[in-house]
Amino acid sequence: AQSVTQLDSQVPVFEEAPVELRCNYSSSVSVYLFWYVQYPNQGLQLLLKYLSGSTLVESINGFEAEFNKSQTSFHLRKPSVHISDTAEYFCAVSYYNDYKLSFGAGTTVTVRA
């Protein structure tokens, strides 16, 4: 079984500052890795995913995440955040060909002016 640990429950950050959200997973086999974002009072949206290939994956709104197999991590970063990035972010994993997602507890990012 896999488990997901998000190391920070709350991350306050000023506008235009960088942010990093940490995610570690434990699994004895290869997994797929995802970051989902939940804006206030909305459902979850896929932000980015790692399936295979390049270990650095990017989203269309400036976020990126790097898969590190040796450290079993998939940290999410953005070099300069906006007020609109205020949301809860969830790291998730799944096995190959298994549709079940196992989620971390979530990290709430609050961006202040």
Partner 1 sequence: EAQVTQNPRYLITVTGKKLTVTCSQNMNHEYMSWYRQDPGLGLRQIYYSMNVEVTDKGDVPEGYKVSRKEKRNFPLILESPSPNQTSLYFCASSAYGTDTQYFGPGTRLTVL
CB of 97 to partner 1, least distance (A): 9
Q: What one-character DSSP code corresponds to residue 108? A: E
Which residue's CB is nearer to partner 1, number 29 or number 113?
Answer: 29
Distance, in Å, from the CA atom of 84 to the CA atom of 29, rounded to the nearest integer, reads: 36
CB of 105 to partner 1, least distance (A): 5
First to last CA, the chain: 41
CB of 91 to partner 1, least distance (A): 9
The CB-based long-range contact list for 56-63 (8 Å cut-off, 24+ gap) reads 59/35, 63/35
For residue 76, give the nearest of 91, 87, 86, 88 by alpha carbon.
91
| Chain residues that interact with partner 1, rule: CB under 8 A | 4, 6, 9, 32, 36, 42-46, 49, 51, 90, 92, 94, 99-101, 103-106
Which residue's CB is nearer to partner 1, number 42 or number 80?
Answer: 42
Which residue's CB is nearer to partner 1, number 10 or number 68?
Answer: 10
